[in-house]
């Protein structure tokens, strides 16, 4: 059965082992005026210059902070406290306050993500792969990034070599669990987490 082609970035689905599944996030700062749009489900990285965060769009051996889950700021036009599931870019809060971002950053967290092509289960589970960044939707604020399992777009089929993610299992979503077709969803864990690497930001 064909899978539904509807990328959504990275969606938390639990943790390794029997850890408490609380869906918790950590609060980080977004630099006021940051032009980059941050979508729900996007990967985040921390900036060495000031500790604020921005979107992670790819890179070899880069430290991934976690997955974006919305932000809070005081709207510069209305002056009202505002929650948004994505950061639209270019926001400087009223009164000069900070923009607070909420990020899934537990290095043991598992995520579901759609693949950009086809890869067999026996060629995927236990292997490593990278992500393929795509700008999300400003209509619903959702990420459009995918797992890069094809040889195009600078990526490659999952392999034992170091990469951003470890593939744990095929999704149990009945609409997106056919590994013999494009766009199956996979369960992955971040390999290159800022909280598991020995080098600092």
> What pLDDT, on a 0 to 100 scale, did the predictor assign at position 20?
67
In sequence order, the 6+-apart residues with CB closer than 8 A to the CB of 36 are 54, 55, 89
- For 181-195, the pLDDT digits (tens) are 999 999 999 999 999
Burial class (CB in 10 A: 0-12, 13-18, 19+), 164: buried
- For 118-160, the pLDDT digits (tens) are 999 999 999 999 999 999 999 999 999 999 998 766 667 888 8
The sheet with strand 165-170 has its strands ordered as: 11-15, 109-114, 185-190, 165-170, 128-132, 146-148
> What pLDDT, on a 0 to 100 scale, did the predictor assign at position 17?
82
> What pLDDT, on a 0 to 100 scale, did the predictor assign at position 154?
61
The alpha carbon of residue 27 and the mean position of all alpha carbons in its chain are separated, in whole angstroms, by 16
Residue 61 has pLDDT above 80, yes or no: no
Domain ranges of the chain: 11-15+107-190, 26-104
* Phi, psi dihedral angles at 84 (to 5 degrees): -140, 140
- For 62-88, the pLDDT digits (tens) are 789 999 999 999 999 999 999 999 999
User: Could you give the CA distance from residue 74 to residue 80 in angstroms, rounded to a whole number?
Assistant: 5
What are the DSSP calls for 103-132, one per residue?
Answer: EE--TTEEEEEEBSS---HHHHTT-EEEEE
């Amino acid at each position: 059965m064909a899978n539904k082609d509807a990328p959504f970035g990275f969606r938390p689905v639990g943790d390794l082992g029997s850890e408490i599944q609380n869906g918790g996030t950590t609060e980080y700062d977004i630099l006021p005026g940051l032009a980059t749009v941050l979508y729900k489900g996007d990967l985040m990285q921390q900036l060495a210059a000031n500790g604020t965060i921005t979107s992670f769009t790819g890179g070899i051996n880069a430290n991934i902070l976690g997955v974006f889950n919305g932000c809070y700021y005081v709207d510069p036009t209305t002056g009202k406290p505002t929650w948004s599931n994505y950061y639209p870019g270019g926001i400087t809060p009223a009164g000069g306050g900070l923009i607070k971002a909420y990020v899934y950053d537990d290095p043991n967290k598992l995520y579901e993500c759609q693949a950009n092509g086809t890869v067999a289960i026996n060629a995927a589970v236990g292997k490593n792969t990278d992500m393929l960044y795509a700008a999300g939707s400003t209509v619903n604020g959702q990420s459009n990034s995918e797992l890069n399992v094809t040889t195009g777009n600078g990526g490659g089929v999952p392999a034992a070599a170091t990469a951003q993610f470890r593939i744990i299992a095929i999704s149990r979503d009945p609409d997106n669990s056919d590994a013999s077709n494009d766009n199956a969803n996979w369960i992955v864990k971040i390999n290159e987490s800022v909280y598991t690497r020995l080098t600092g930001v």
